[in-house]
Amino acid sequence: MHVVMISKACIVGAYQKKLEELAREPDIRLTVLVPLGWKDDRGEQQLERVFTQGYDLRVTPLAFNGRFHFHFYPRLAADLDDLQPDMLHIDEEPYNLATWRAMRQAVKRKIPALFFTWQNINRSYPPPFNWWERYNYRHARHVIAGNHDAANVLRAKGFTGAISIIAQFGVDPALFSPSVHPHPPHPFTIGYAGGFVPAKGLDVLFRACARLKPPWELHLVGAGSEEAPLHALAAKLGIESHIHWLGKRPSLAMPDFYRSLDVLVLPSRTMPNWKEQFGRVLVEAMACETPVIGSDSGEIPHVIADAGLIFPENNSDALAEHLHSLQEDAALREGLGQRGRRRALEHFTQAQIARATAQVYRQISG
């Protein structure tokens, strides 16, 4: 069967490993349409071409880049007429214009279609978003939900079709792997990767780190709207000299970053319109045998399970206690790192996610 996937997320090179794994399925021919880049409050991500074997990765124009609800793919109708697929995989949320426009094109051509959703909070949208959402619910042949709460939201909103719970992306265990060299002597090194935005709780991490005894360092990868306030908070707490601001890094540089750490922290906090939907950086770090600490926001406890440490969101004292335990106990760090690697291999590889996705395609086509 010929599957066309349209996905702005697949501009990230490391994510494209899932596409190669999908293309290895003997009954699937895969074409993936992506834009040249995507802008959001964390900055701009350009298309990386990294894992591109076995399938066709094509660039298609994107209108209203950076407008999460209003962006769309103006050439999609022509692309579908050119490609003549058997199925359309819309890697977008159901309340977005891009999904509605793509679903309409699929319905017009009698192409079975599915969409992906992370939405794990049951929100009521005003028109036109709820109109798009209801249309997509009526016409989707299947939905892939990225977490358990997202599946519950679909049902609560009245979707009665088939749902599969599959993470959007996993890890390539050959790329995200433990270091083969012992760490040279270094201060206790804490890491964070992601957006510098309020929902990610970096202020909680800063306050927890301020309670630690030196020597320690905090290495930050990412960018975002809160960078200036975070610099100000670091100065107020007197921890500026401990923090290394590393900026954004290409996806293939992330394994070396994780290997350089003694612990990765994801201190996300639930907001009125958002809670943590997965926490991909946790899985990547776990695959590298780097211990992880996460808040209890959203899907994080399901991702970490017993392979890391959990603290109540917004509780900097509890996070500081976990950090202190890892700072003082090398055996605990080693044990958690090994458990994390096992969990990543058992549940979150790109190959496993690709196989589960391929099975969805077969259910639809069958």
Question: Do 2-170+350-365 and 188-347 fold alike per CATH?
Answer: yes
CATH fold for the domain made of 188-347: Rossmann fold (3.40.50)
Q: Where are the alpha helices (DSSP H) in 125-260?
A: 129-139, 148-156, 202-209, 227-237, 254-259
86 CB burial (10 A radius; 0-12, 13-18, 19+): middle
Quick one: pLDDT band at residue 184, thresholds 50, 70, 90?
Answer: confident
- Rounded CA separation 10/16 (Å): 6
Both structure tokens of 264: 């990765």
Closest of 256, 258, 283 to residue 340, by C-alpha: 283
Does 286 have pLDDT greater than 80? yes
Both structure tokens of 319: 């996070």
The answer to whether 288 touches 133, Cβ cutoff 8 Å, is no
Q: Write the pLDDT tens digit of every residue in 29-68.
A: 999 999 999 998 777 899 999 999 999 999 999 999 999 9
Share of the chain above pLDDT 90, in %: 96
- Rounded CA separation 114/162 (Å): 10
> For residues 60 and 252, which has the higher predicted lDDT (pLDDT)?
60
The answer to whether 117 touches 145, Cβ cutoff 8 Å, is yes
CATH code that applies to domain 2-170+350-365: 3.40.50.2000
Section 353-362 average pLDDT: 97
Q: Write the pLDDT tens digit of every residue in 80-103.
A: 999 999 999 999 999 999 999 999
Closest of 268, 267, 266, 261 to residue 327, by C-alpha: 261
Section 247-260 average pLDDT: 95
Closest of 361, 307, 363 to residue 332, by C-alpha: 307
Section 261-279 average pLDDT: 96
* Continuous segment of H or E residues that includes residue 74: none
- Rounded CA separation 245/187 (Å): 16
Q: Map out the domains of the chain as residue ranges.
A: 2-170+350-365, 188-347
Residue type at 177 in one-letter notation: S
